[in-house]
Structure 1
Amino acid sequence: MKPFAIAGIQMKVSAVVSNVEMMKLKIDITMNLYPWIEMIMFSELCAFGPLTHTAQVIPNNFEAEMQAMAKKYGIWLLPGSIFEKSEGKIYNTATVINPKGKIVTRYRKMFPFYPYETGVTPGQDYCVFDVPNVARFGVSICYDMWFPETIRTLTTMGAEVIMHPTMSGTIDREIELSIVRAMASVNQCYFFDVNGLDTGGCGRSIVCGPDGRILHQSEGTEEIIPLELNIDRVKRSRELGILRLGQPLKSFRDHIKTSQFGIYQPNIPTPYLDSLGPLIKPTRLDTLTELKIRETTLRKQSTPTHYKGDSII
C-alpha cells in the first residue's frame, strides 16, 4: 500500500472581500485537526471570487502567502485558482506549491465556461506534476472535465490522481457528479473534485476512486474532507481492470497504435457541428428564432451561384 493523505476544503467564497485570510485559517485548522495530511486543495477562484475585475499579475502576494503556509506545515498546496492578468488577457490559473514552499507548476484552465465565463482566455498546456515516491498528479479546472479528452490526456501523461478545483453553483451540479464518476472510472484514476459555497458554488464536493465508486460526497455546508488514498489501487486497476473487468486505458493504447480517431484530424470538415450555430448565451425564443433566420439569410447570400448553360444550379 502506498498511502497519501489529501484534504479538500469546501468553504464559503465571497465576491466582495478577499477570502485569503479565511483560507489561511482553514489550513491552520486542518493541520491541527489532521496533522497527517500531506496535501490540501481549495475550490476554483476561492481566494478572490468569480469576478474578473479581481485579476492580477502572477507572481503576487497571494501566491507568496500560500507558499509560506505550505512551508509552515510541510505540505503540498493547491490554493484553488485566481484570475490572472497577462499581456492584456485574463486566464483562470491554478498554482501548485510543494512542501518547501516552492512553486512547482501553474495551470491555466483550458475550457472557460463559455458563453458565461466571458472575457477569459483558454490556456493551452496540460499540467502534471510528480509527488516523489508517491504518484503523478494532473490538474484540471471545473468545465475542463466536460471534455473527456482533457482527462484522458492527463492520464496518458501518467497522471494517477486528478486534482480538480471547481466553482459550480448551477443546476447542472448533479450532472457533474456523474461526470466525475465517469472520468475516474474510464481513466482508472482518483478524482478529487472540490467545490465552493455561496458565490463559490453549491458545494457537494466529491472524491472518487479508480473504479468510479464514491469515496466521499459532501453536502452544502462548509467541510474539511481528509482522505487517505491508496495509490496502489490505481496501478492495480490499470493492470487487472476495473473490478477485474474492463481495461479501458490498455484498449485505448492499443487502438491508437493502429488507427486514429478521424474527428481529431487537422482541418477535417465538421458540417454537423458547424450547423449548430454560434456559441452564444441562450435568449428568449422569439429573439433566438430571429437570429436563426438572419444567419440563414446571410449564409444564402454568401453562397456563390453556379451556372450551367442557361440554368442556375
Structure 2
Amino acid sequence: MSSQEYASPPSFPFITVAAVQMEPHVGRKEENVARSIALIDRAAAEGAALVVLPELTNSGYVFGSRAEVFALAETVPDGSTTQAWMDAARRNQIYIVAGIAERDGDRLYNSAVVIGPEGWLGVYRKLHLWGDEHLFFEAGDKGLPLFHTQWGRLGVAICYDGWFPEVYRLLAMQGADVVAMPTNWVPMPGQPADRHAMATSLAMANAHSNALTIVCANRIGTERGQPFIGQSLIVGAQGWPLAGPASEDTEQLLYARINLKESRQARHLNPFNHVLRDRRDDLYDPMLGTGWPLPRH
C-alpha cells in the first residue's frame, strides 16, 4: 500500500491487536528499528489495527552509562525512530505503540510513542522506574494520558507500571478500552519453574478487575548478562488470555480479535455487580486524588 492509499478503518466494534515479541540489541538502533518495522508490516498484513512493540525497542535496555543512553536517545516526534514508525503507521493505516529512549533537553525518559494513521498522537513516559533505570531516566511527568483512536480509547503503561493497580484503575476510570504495555520483563525472585511469570498473572488480574484488554509486548534474549523472559500476552477484558503467553526465548507475533462492545459490557459481572460502579467512593477518592474529572461512560 503506498502512502497515498488509505485502507478502511476496522469495523466497529471489532479490532485485531498484535503484540510483537522481539530481541532488540543495545546500541544497535538502526538494526532494531529496521527489524521492528519488518514485524509491524507483517502484523499489519495479518489485519492488526494496533501493533505494540517492547519497551526501549530502538535502543536496547541494559546501559553502561548515562552518556550511552543520551547518545541513543531521541527527541519525539522529530527523531529518526519516531519518523520511521510514523511512516509505517501511515503506510499500513494502523496504530503503533512502541518503547523508545526519549531525550527532552538534558532529561531522559523511558517512553512509549503513540502513533496513528494520521500521524503523531503523543507520548507516554514511564511512571515507575525499575532498578538501574533510576540512574538514567527521570520518572514520568505526563500522568496517564488517554489517546483517542478511530476505534476507541487507548491507554499506555510500561513494564513495572503494571505492578501498580492504580495505573489500570485510573485508565479504566477515564474510559480506556485497551491498554498497550511495552515491557522488558525479567525473572522475578521466587518464580517457580513450572509457572508463568508473575507479570502475566498481574496483567490477568488487572484486566479482570477493570474490564480492560491489555496488550503486553515483551522482549527476549540476554543483554549484557541480563536475561529477559518473553511470555508476551494479550489479555481480554474478562481477565483470560486471548493469545499467549508466548515462548520465553523465541521471536513471535501474537494476535487477538476483540469485540470492544463486549469488552465494555464485561464490567457488568452479573445483574447486580459492576467492577467500577461498585467502588466505595464514600470511603475513598474515585480518582485516587488525581483531580481528573470523572468521564461519562
Q: Mark yes or no: TM-score above 0.5.
A: yes
Q: 2:278 aligns with which of 248, 251, 265?
A: 251
Q: Which residue of 1 aligns with 2:51?
A: 40
2:166 corresponds in structure 1 to 149
**Which stretches of structure 1, 4 residues or more, deviate above 3 A after TM superposition?**
114-117, 243-246
Q: Structure 1 residues 246 and 114 mapped into 2: Cα distance closer, same or farther (>3 Å)?
A: farther
Equivalent pairs, count: 255
- Pairing 1:90-101 to 2, within 5 Å after superposition: 90-100=108-118
The residue matched to 1:67 in structure 2 has which SS?
A: helix
1:27 aligns with 2:51: no
Identity %: 23
Q: What's the Cα RMSD here?
A: 2.3
Residue of structure 2 equivalent to 1:183: 206
SS in 1 for 2:186: coil
Within 1, Cα distance between the matches of 2:114 and 2:140?
16
Deviation of 1:88 after TM superposition, in Å, equals 2.0
Please give the per-residue CA displacement for 1:189-242, whole angstroms capped at 9, x wherever unaligned.
11111101114832100111111111111112111112211111222112x31x
CA contact (8 A) 2:234 2:256 kept: no
Over alpha carbons, which structure has the higher Rg? 1
Question: Is 2:161 the partner of 1:164?
Answer: no
Q: Deviations over 1:83-139 (max 9, x none)?
A: 212232211111111113x1011111111114654221111221211223x221111
How many Å separate the matches in 2 of 1:170 and 1:182? 19
Structure 1 gaps, min length 5: 267-313
Q: Deviations over 1:7-37 (max 9, x none)?
A: 11111111141201111111233333x1x22
CA contact (8 A) 1:237 1:244 kept: no
Question: Separation in 1 of the partners of 2:41 and 2:201?
Answer: 32
Does residue 63 (structure 1) correspond to residue 70 (structure 2)? The answer is no
Give the distance between the partners of 2:44 and 2:169, measured in 1 at CA.
33
Q: In the alignment, does 2:223 pair up with 1:205? A: no
Distance 1:22 1:265, change over 3 A: closer
TM-score scaled by length of structure 2: 0.79
Structure with the bigger percentage of helix: 1
Give the structure 2 partner of residue 292 of structure 1: none
Partner amino acid, structure 1, of 2:283: S
Confirm whether residue 74 of structure 1 aligns to residue 85 of structure 2: no
Residues in 2 aligned to 1:131 and 1:236: alpha-carbon distance in whole angstroms: 20
2:166 is matched by which residue type in structure 1? E
Kept in 2, the 8 Å contact 1:82–1:92? The answer is: yes
